[in-house]
Amino acid sequence: MKKLMTPVAVLAALALIVVMLISSVEIAAYGNFEYYQKEYEKYRVLDDVNMEMEDLMHVTREMMAYLRGNRDQLSVETTVSGQAMDFFNEQDRFHMWEVQKLFIGGMRLRAMTAAIAVVSILLLAAVKAPMRRLLPKAFLWTVGILMAVVLALVIWAAIDFNTLFTYFHLIFFDNDLWLFDPATDLMINVLVEGFFMDMALRIVLIFGGMLVITSGLCVGVLAAGCKKGKRNGIKAAALVLAAVVGLQGIAPLTVKADPGETLVSPVEEFKTKHVDHEFVFPEDWPEAPEINAGAAILYEATTGTVLYAKNADVELYPASITKIMTGLLVAEYGRMSDIVTYTRDAVINNLEWGAMTVGISVDEQISVLDSFYAMMLSSANDAANGLAEYVSGSNESFAALMNSRAKELGAYNTNFSNPSGLFGADHYTTCYDMALIMAEAIQNRLFMSVATTMYYESEPTNRYPQYRFFYQQHKFKPNAAHAYDGFVCGKTGYIDESGNTLVTYCERDGLKLISVVMKDNNPGHYVDSTLLMDYGFDNFKLCQIDGTLLSGEQDTDYLSGFDGLFEQAGFSIEENMDSVIIIPRTAELSDVDCTLNYNPESKAENGNIIADIVYSYHGMTVGSGTLEFVPTKEEFSDPKDIEESLEAEETIDETEGPTEDESKGKEVVVTLAQVMLFIGIVLAVVVVVIVLAVYFNPGRVRARRIRRRRKTRQIDYKLPDDFL
């Protein structure tokens, strides 16, 4: 049992150090919120995000509460550039959800290591181990070894903080959602690189202070007199127990009893209550064909008008038309020249027997572009899984991204649980939602370049030395059984639970029609889609707004009194002539009514917009537009401004090396690095000096010599012969 005393003592010391480290992180992050305000002022982030300090601190507190598990969702309404908006976008939410898991995981680790430290000390006490010497020595030796590691990290941070920061994320995160674009993400403009360097320095100072104080206490215990050994051993154990308990409560969390229950994954977070849409058509609306599919919709993409709907809000299994959303996200997040290395999960574990694949092997390396074609043309489920892991690291994370994007598009009755469309009880969508998703996808040029391809040959790979051939599966393509004039692209789908599903996009006469049929049979899904497309092209037409629909509108009468003032200012008020509406072929533009909204949502995108216009035909919305200020006088820039701008550009082109601001920034970084390096070296030196002082103290050396002499001294108790 004595042989196990030292390992148990080292385990207790190591557990205590882990508790200290995690507590240091928590104290640094939550100990004083004024620290954040000072950092924001130091790096002038208010100018970058155009916010008030009060609003930014509110966002900070809510964000930190979310990391502690006190908020189920990270959505904070605030004011940015004078506009009310949610501070966090979807990428922020996904990444911070993973940070939340990491943080609460750290809290669990701290509780576990604290328990290990307590149990180890109680075990040593039970076997009557010499804790006065054993525990302090174990702690000091462990700290000495740890400080070598800390010193190496400090030197690394001082030389190249960016690389260290990158490796940290690569170790703890399995995706690239932590890579933000300052042009579109507010959070990265607030939490700048200098902030993270300062926070790292803050953690090092707190952690180092804890180590130095605890090491000093250990030295004090070791330096105590030998006669007080037993009492000091009890004190040492009590001291360590108190430290463990104290550090567990030094910055108490207000998380719920089971932190795991408070974590809401983005997959669950974006599930919403069912939303019903009213698909009510005017009495004189063209008569629709008889559709046999369980659910169907015909949607005009330019105006966003539903021309036909049957059970369009019923939640059904989509099968492989899911890949439209997967393809959209790959087009938005992927780089086509990147290489996807396929994992066992992608090509085996996340597939089911009989699933459509193109035979990709484990560890096979295929470009994103070739994988994209395999998924969209051949409906390859293994390619879909690999692309999902490429974008988000796992199928679950990618499903969260899919659901978030769906909600952005208004697809509130959709929940995806995988990227391929294989069966899942919680994997469902509606015809209406799929029409919205397809309408967004056809606006993406990269998606369209792949989806409209009829035939593609992929390059040989490290595991497959031959070409793979992918063909368009949609039978609306030319020379196919159901070839259709105007067909652009689409996606097929089938699993036993869903029946046949089909999304089709066709263009003709300016109309951009999207049909979706679900819960159909084969070839019924092509027959129904043909009927829908014929219905749309034969019975409807697009009309360009000509500026006459607002004439005589009472809503605009009050504006006419300002015509003279507007003309003098060089402006007129007009309908946006780029707007189009869709109406039956038998109707006229004069049959259309319009309604104005003088609190337009579109004003955030265009400051010249006065009102949003909703065009309706017999009560049904058939398009939208805007009422805008339009300049009537040509504006010219001041020649002096142009000249100064050109001179500034020439100066920038001719100047080599960093600007003054950049130099200042670099100077700050170097200063922080030097400080961190200095502190690391000082801490290491202090610990080494303490250890050496303990083991080479003259008094202790002398005491050890005396003990050794006592053990080897021979005492003769034989009495002299003449004693009696």
Which residues, 6 or more positions from 127, have their beta carbon under 8 angstroms from its beta carbon?
1, 5
Predicted local distance difference test score (pLDDT) of residue 109: 87
- Amino acid at position 578, single letter: D
pLDDT at 7: 82
How does pLDDT run across 145-191, given as a tens digit for each residue? 776 776 776 676 666 656 655 666 566 655 555 556 666 678 778 88
pLDDT value of position 340: 96
Residue 257, pLDDT score: 32
Q: Report pLDDT for 26.
A: 87
User: Residue 257, class by beta-carbon neighbours within 10 Å (0-12 exposed, 13-18 middle, 19+ buried)?
Assistant: exposed
Written as one string, the DSSP assignment of 169-200 is HHHH-SSSTT---TTT-HHHHHS-HHHHHHHH
pLDDT score of 256: 34
Tokens of 710: 């006592």
Distance, CA of 56 to CA of 61 (rounded, Å): 9
Contact indicator for 453, 477 with CB cutoff of 8 Å:
no
pLDDT of residue 12: 82
User: Rounded CA gap, 86 and 182, in Å?
Assistant: 16
As a dihedral over the C-alpha atoms of residue 543, residue 545, residue 546, residue 550, rounded to 10 degrees, the angle is 130
pLDDT of residue 550: 64
H-assigned helices in 31-89: 34-42, 45-49, 53-67
DSSP 8-class letter at 554: G
Angle formed at CA 616 by CA 610 and CA 621, multiple of 5 degrees: 95
DSSP helix, strand, coil percent of the chain (3-state; round to 5): 55, 15, 30
Question: Which tokens is 322 given?
Answer: 């899911």
Q: Residue 525 has what pLDDT?
A: 97
Weakly modelled stretches of the chain, pLDDT under 50: 225-230, 244, 248-267, 269, 552-558, 560-566, 568-569, 603-604, 633-638, 640, 642, 654-674, 694, 696, 712, 714-715, 717, 719, 723-724
pTM of the full structure: 0.56
Listed in sequence order, the residues at least 6 apart from 292 whose beta carbon sits closer than 8 Å to its beta carbon are: 520, 521, 524, 527, 528
Q: 243 vs 21, 29, 319, CA distance in Å?
A: 13, 20, 57
Write the CA distances from 584 to 159, 286, 550, 578, 588, integer angstroms.
69, 7, 21, 20, 8
Could you say which DSSP state residue 718 is in?
Answer: P
CA distances (Å), origin 711, targets 129, 697, 708: 21, 22, 5
The whole-number pLDDT of residue 19 equals: 87
The two three-digit tokens of residue 350, written as one number: 């996340």
